[in-house]
Structure 1
Amino acid sequence: MLSITNLSYFIGGRALYENASMFIKPKDKIGLIGLNGRGKSTLLKLINGDYKADAGSISKSNDCTIGFLNQDLLSYQTEDAIVTVAMEAFKDAVDTQRQIEKILHKLETEYSDELVERLAKLQEKFEHLDGYSMQAKAEEVLEGIGFSTSDLHRPLKEFSGGWRMRVMLAKLLLEKPSLLMLDEPTNHLDLPSIEWVENYLRDYEGAVVIVSHDRRFLDNVVTKIVDVTQQQLVTYEGNYSFYLQEKELRQEIQQNAYENQQQKIRQTERFIERFKAKATKARQVQSRVKALERLDMIEEVTDDTAAVNFKFRFSQQPGRFIINLKDISKSYGPLEILKHTSASIERTDKIALIGANGKGKSTMLRIIAGEEPVEGERTMGYNVIRAFYAQHQLESLNVENEIIEELKQAGSGKTEQELRNVLGCFLFSDEDQFKKIKVLSGGEKSRVALAKTLISEANFLLLDEPTNHLDFISENILIQALQQYAGSFVVVSHNRHFVSQIANKIWYIEDKQLKEYPGTYEEYEYWKKKNEAAAASKPEPPKPKVEKKQETAPKTPTQTTQLKTLEKDLKKVEDQIETLQNRKAQLELDLASSEIYADAERLKKTQKEFEKVNGELNVANVQWEKLATAIDELNK
């Protein structure tokens, strides 16, 4: 279906690809992997025709259509409802529907047999294109990847970048191209949505190429791995777990061949050195010299893995309890997140807080950190020193500092050599350690912020989506670091492999309550599936009888007028809150972007607008509560 032959592509003087080849067959499910900066996203853009190869060819069959989900789509905006955007996947059916609507409108004032005949043909075509079910299909996919039914008719521009990316994903899935290319699709999905997409892609009729650092996702979807390494595309038949085993075996064979070749070279060189001055051995010496020149050199295996070799140390050991939360409630205006829930964290607890977006996971982290006002009791334990990592921590990095200087200012008490060892663990070479923060990519900044968090003398860590922007090696470093960590932590993550490696307790929010499973993620998954299967096999309980509400006393004309005015004002405030929340989400996304820190004026302006919007949102929430209370009083 698609063939890449002897592909070469250079950025400046650096080769991303040199004589690289691969083939994509119909129904292939390919995971494209490799270290950050090796050119995975670039390869997708070369296939899509966005970039042009310096040498070699990319050829595809005439019937091959390509759908490409990439990070550039984050900026796409429109006034159209998201269900309308998703239905653009059915282009022919949508065009036909518009023609039908025009003819129906024309028939209201200008009836003719010709128009009726055209209408009949278009309606037949619309039915043939399955146009009557396209909205239902679009709604099914949108709800599958996390949108609520009430969201479907909201304009796309009201959603943050991550949610807009989901709409683009829905549109691509509905288009069903013969080759679907997805660049980090799970970055913007929560666990239920990831599982839904996994099921969809497993049954997808076309070929799929996925760039992802989510191991479990790759294991569940792909049947082939292509490793971008040393400017080449190396193919492994199997999922990610098979790739790890097969790569280890291939490297062992290659290393043995390399060592055997090196031994043979040394023996040949010794023969040449020993007999080069003897005329009787001249022919043999020349023969061996030529043999060395013709030799196809086998490369030594380079170890891509990295191990954490620094020790965590605390200046203070905490008491038995890290924090106690009692009868906690939290809401944002009318939106209740938590209601009269309690929890406690003990020393050595390693907790993963999981679940769907919008349930309040990040809010719970901020409550634990004391950064979020809350109803109820929050009691921090004895000698607890906490450190909090979230995506917004990247903003606190001093962009003018060198990386090593940034770590020195973390106040860990470590020597410069110890700090340099830590940075080496986080894949910063000796030269990289003296780069300024402002020139780093988003993933590199994440690694610096994580390193700062882990070297602090905190005995309690709070980590919000720490694996975002990390490749497999960086993720493995973080797993090793947290496995060695002797303190307690709470991690919010949708990365199932990561969670399975580091957590000994699982937290999740259900029915506005914080609930706990006292075991690993694998045990939690087994327990959850067992409960779901048991619930599915039970007959539905009889519906309770609904008692009729007592009729309230009729309202006076004055009360009716007041009620209408209050409800009208409430609707205006709700619209204002929704607009402010969407703007706040967009500003948070802007502040999380690495590009903004290169422009001090833009950064200052964005931060100022964020503070203004946040203030207006607080005022609007207070106003909403007053209006809602007044309406309740009138309705009594």
Structure 2
Amino acid sequence: MLSINNLSYFIGGRALYENASLHIKPKDKIGLVGLNGTGKSTLLKIINGDFQPSSGEVQKAKDCTIGFLNQDLLSYQSEDSILDVALEAFKETLKLQDEIDAVLKQMETDHSDEIINRLAKLQDRFEANEGYTIKARAEEVLEGIGFNTKDLSRPLKTFSGGWRMRVMLAKLLLEKPSLLMLDEPTNHLDLPSIQWVENYLKTYEGAVIVVSHDQEFLDNCVDTIVEVSNGTLTVYSGNYSFYQEEKKDRMEIQQNAFENQQQMIKQTERFIERFRAKATKSNQVQSRIKALDRMERVAEVVDDNISVNFKFRFSQKSGRDVVSLDHVSKSYGDLVILKNSTARIERGDKIALIGANGKGKSTLLRIIDGTEPIQGKREQGHNVIKSFYAQHQLEALHVDNEILQELQQAGSGKTDTELRNVLGCFLFSNDDVFKKIKVLSGGEKSRVALAKTLISEANFLLLDEPTNHLDTQSVNILIQALQQYEGTFITVSHDRHFIRGVANKIWYIEDHQIKEYPGSYEEYVYWKSQQEELKVQTGSDKKQKTENKKKSYSDTELNQAKNELKKKEQQLAQIEEHILKIEASKSMMEGQMADPEVFSDSAKLETINKEYQKLKEEEERLNSQWEMLVEEIGELQETLK
């Protein structure tokens, strides 16, 4: 379907790709992984035709269509409702609808066979395109990725960038291109929406390439991993967990080959050095020199899985109670977030606050921080020193500072050597620490802001979506850092791998109350599934009770039910007879409207058409009554069984 052959792409003098190749087949589900800055997003833009390769080529089949979700779409705005924007995915069908409307308008004065035939053809094409279902499909996708039904009529421009990105994702999913390319789609989705997209992509009919740092998302929706590293594309035939294991095995084989080759090279070099001056060995020496020159060198393995060791320093420990919320209420107009809710954070708690967007997670974080007005009581414990990380912390970085300088001004009291060690843990080594903040990527700025948060002497951290913009390696570093953190923290996150690695308690907001599960995310997921099964079982029990209740009816009640059943069956027969008469009248009128003599008499045609419409309305009313009676008769029949 699409082939990348001997691709090279240079930025300045640096090769981002060099002779890289990849073949994408229909229905491939590919996860594109690699460190930030290795060129994952660039590759998608090359495939999309936004960038031209320095050499090599991208070949695609003639019928291959490409849909590309990228971060540039964050700036897209429109006066149209989000439903109308999503419906733009069906351009051809919408055009047909406009043509049908125009023909119907024309038929008010023109009743020729030509115009009737044209309408019939347009309607056939519209039906073949499933035009009558496009609105329902658009609503299903929009609601699947987190929009409420009442939001669908709101203009796109009234939503934040992240929500606008969801609309663009919905539009792409509805377009169903041959190749769907998604660049960090989970950055703008909450957990329920991520799970919905996972299920959608599993059954997606076309090919998919996803750039994501969400390891569980990749595990659940891709069957191939392509790693971008050292300017090449390496394919692993499995999901992310398979890739991790397979990469370990490959690295071990490569390291052994490297060590064996190095040993052979040293032996050869010793032979050359020892016998270089002997004429009798000159042929052998020259032969070995040429062999070394021709040898294809095995690269030494560079392990991306960095183990870090943070030394957190607190000037004081907090008291046992860190923050207490008593009978707290919070609302924005008619939107109620919390209502008379109570919660406690104790020293040593590692809390993950999860759930759908719009439930108030970030608001709750600000309430805990003490920066959000509330009704009720918030009390901070003894000796609590807070540090808050959120996406706006990136904007608070001083863009003209160097990275090291930014940390020096954070007031941590650490020496330059200690600060450089911390920055090394966050992948800023050697001269990287002297880079200006203003030249850093979003992911690099996130790492700097996180480093600033972690070097503070805070014994209570509030972290709002800390993994956004981080690559997989950086997420793993953050997990290790928080595992070594001896203070207390609460984090809002949709990254399940991250939550599994750091949380010992799970919080969520339900029915305007803060709910707590006192265990790991793995245990919470199991508990939640058990609760869902219990609900299903409870529903079955209620049904059984209803069945038992039916069996306990008295003879009098059963006789009343028999009489009621007979009465309703008679009503049903009368309605069916009436419907048949209406259908016959409609058929006769349709014949009259098709008569050329009637076409030529617009007054007569209009009179017949009005009567026809009245009959349709009456038919719809009777059909509704018929459906209601059928349900009532069914219930009575069940009672009498």
Could you say which TM-score interval applies, normalised by the shorter chain?
0.7 to 0.9
* Displacement after TM superposition at 1:110 (Å): 4.2
* Displacement after TM superposition at 1:79 (Å): 1.8
Partner deviation per Cα, 1:294-331 (whole Å, 9 max, x = no partner): 11111111122222223101100111111111000001
* Displacement after TM superposition at 1:416 (Å): 1.0
Residue 96 of structure 2 is matched in structure 1 by: 96
User: Partner letter of residue 388 of structure 2?
Assistant: F
Residue 405 of structure 1 is matched in structure 2 by: 405
Please report the TM-score for the alignment, with normalisation by the length of structure 1.
0.84
Whether the 8 Å contact between 2:403 and 2:434 is mirrored in structure 1 is yes
User: Partner letter of residue 448 of structure 2?
Assistant: V
Residue 72 of structure 2 is matched in structure 1 by: 72
Greater Cα shift, 437-446 or 266-275: 437-446
Partner deviation per Cα, 1:119-145 (whole Å, 9 max, x = no partner): 121111111111001111111111000
Report the 3-state secondary structure (helix = DSSP H, G, I; strand = E; otherwise coil) of the residue aligned with 1:315. coil
Residue 203 of structure 2 is matched in structure 1 by: 203
Q: Distance in 2 between matches of 1:109 and 1:428?
A: 75
Greater Cα shift, 217-226 or 172-181: 172-181
Whether the 8 Å contact between 2:320 and 2:347 is mirrored in structure 1 is yes
Please show how residues 328-477 of structure 1 align to structure 2 within 5 Å.
Answer: 328-477=328-477
Q: Distance in 2 between matches of 1:451 and 1:536?
A: 46
* Displacement after TM superposition at 1:341 (Å): 0.3
Report the 3-state secondary structure (helix = DSSP H, G, I; strand = E; otherwise coil) of the residue aligned with 1:450. helix
* Displacement after TM superposition at 1:537 (Å): 3.3
Q: Distance in 1 between matches of 2:6 and 2:223?
A: 24
Q: Distance in 1 between matches of 2:155 and 2:37?
A: 35
Greater Cα shift, 494-503 or 49-58: 49-58
* Displacement after TM superposition at 1:541 (Å): 9.5
Report the 3-state secondary structure (helix = DSSP H, G, I; strand = E; otherwise coil) of the residue aligned with 1:507. strand
* Displacement after TM superposition at 1:536 (Å): 2.4
Q: Distance in 2 between matches of 1:453 and 1:149?
A: 39
* Displacement after TM superposition at 1:400 (Å): 2.2
Residue 246 of structure 2 is matched in structure 1 by: 246
Please show how residues 493-504 of structure 1 align to structure 2 within 5 Å.
Answer: 493-504=493-504
Number of aligned residues: 543
Q: Distance in 1 between matches of 2:268 and 2:188?
A: 57
* Displacement after TM superposition at 1:194 (Å): 0.2
Please show how residues 32-71 of structure 1 align to structure 2 within 5 Å.
Answer: 32-71=32-71
Report the 3-state secondary structure (helix = DSSP H, G, I; strand = E; otherwise coil) of the residue aligned with 1:22. strand
Q: Distance in 2 between matches of 1:380 and 1:501?
A: 27
CA shift in 2, pair 1:207/1:311, >3 Å: same
Residue 569 of structure 2 is matched in structure 1 by: none
Q: Distance in 1 between matches of 2:155 and 2:491?
A: 33
Residue 519 of structure 1 is matched in structure 2 by: 519
Residue 558 of structure 1 is matched in structure 2 by: none
Partner deviation per Cα, 1:323-360 (whole Å, 9 max, x = no partner): 11100000112211100000001110000000000101
Q: Distance in 2 between matches of 1:36 and 1:391?
A: 18
Greater Cα shift, 333-342 or 400-409: 400-409
User: Partner letter of residue 293 of structure 1?
Assistant: D
Which aligned runs of 4 or more in structure 1 are off by greater than 6 angstroms?
Answer: 540-543
Q: Distance in 1 between matches of 2:539 and 2:304?
A: 54
Greater Cα shift, 299-308 or 473-482: 299-308
* Displacement after TM superposition at 1:94 (Å): 1.0
Residue 276 of structure 2 is matched in structure 1 by: 276
List gaps (5 residues or longer) in structure 2: 544-641
Identity fraction in percent: 71
Partner deviation per Cα, 1:429-464 (whole Å, 9 max, x = no partner): 221211222222221111111111101111110000
* Displacement after TM superposition at 1:237 (Å): 0.6
1:113 corresponds to 2:107: no
1:139 corresponds to 2:134: no
Partner deviation per Cα, 1:590-610 (whole Å, 9 max, x = no partner): xxxxxxxxxxxxxxxxxxxxx
* Displacement after TM superposition at 1:86 (Å): 1.3
* Displacement after TM superposition at 1:172 (Å): 1.1
Q: Distance in 1 between matches of 2:536 and 2:179?
A: 36
Please report the TM-score for the alignment, with normalisation by the length of structure 2.
0.83
Q: CA RMSD in A?
A: 1.4
User: Partner letter of residue 236 of structure 1?
Assistant: Y
User: Partner letter of residue 175 of structure 2?
Assistant: E
* Displacement after TM superposition at 1:248 (Å): 0.7
Residue 605 of structure 2 is matched in structure 1 by: none
* Displacement after TM superposition at 1:542 (Å): 8.4
* Displacement after TM superposition at 1:74 (Å): 1.4
Please show how residues 314-333 of structure 1 align to structure 2 within 5 Å.
Answer: 314-333=314-333
* Displacement after TM superposition at 1:413 (Å): 1.3
Q: Distance in 1 between matches of 2:292 and 2:228?
A: 30
Residue 509 of structure 2 is matched in structure 1 by: 509
Residue 11 of structure 1 is matched in structure 2 by: 11
Q: Distance in 1 between matches of 2:46 and 2:439?
A: 25
Whether the 8 Å contact between 2:80 and 2:155 is mirrored in structure 1 is yes
**Structure (1 or 2) with the larger CA radius of gyration:** 2
Report the 3-state secondary structure (helix = DSSP H, G, I; strand = E; otherwise coil) of the residue aligned with 2:269. helix
Q: Distance in 2 between matches of 1:310 and 1:519?
A: 25
Report the 3-state secondary structure (helix = DSSP H, G, I; strand = E; otherwise coil) of the residue aligned with 1:308. coil
Whether the 8 Å contact between 2:83 and 2:152 is mirrored in structure 1 is yes
Q: Distance in 2 between matches of 1:379 and 1:79?
A: 44
* Displacement after TM superposition at 1:112 (Å): 3.5
User: Partner letter of residue 386 of structure 1?
Assistant: K
Q: Distance in 1 between matches of 2:540 and 2:397?
A: 55
1:227 corresponds to 2:227: yes
User: Partner letter of residue 507 of structure 1?
Assistant: W
Residue 168 of structure 1 is matched in structure 2 by: 168
Q: Distance in 2 between matches of 1:453 and 1:539?
A: 48
Q: Distance in 1 between matches of 2:65 and 2:230?
A: 30
Whether the 8 Å contact between 2:310 and 2:484 is mirrored in structure 1 is no
Partner deviation per Cα, 1:403-423 (whole Å, 9 max, x = no partner): 112111211111110011101
Report the 3-state secondary structure (helix = DSSP H, G, I; strand = E; otherwise coil) of the residue aligned with 1:323. strand
Q: Distance in 2 between matches of 1:333 and 1:317?
A: 39
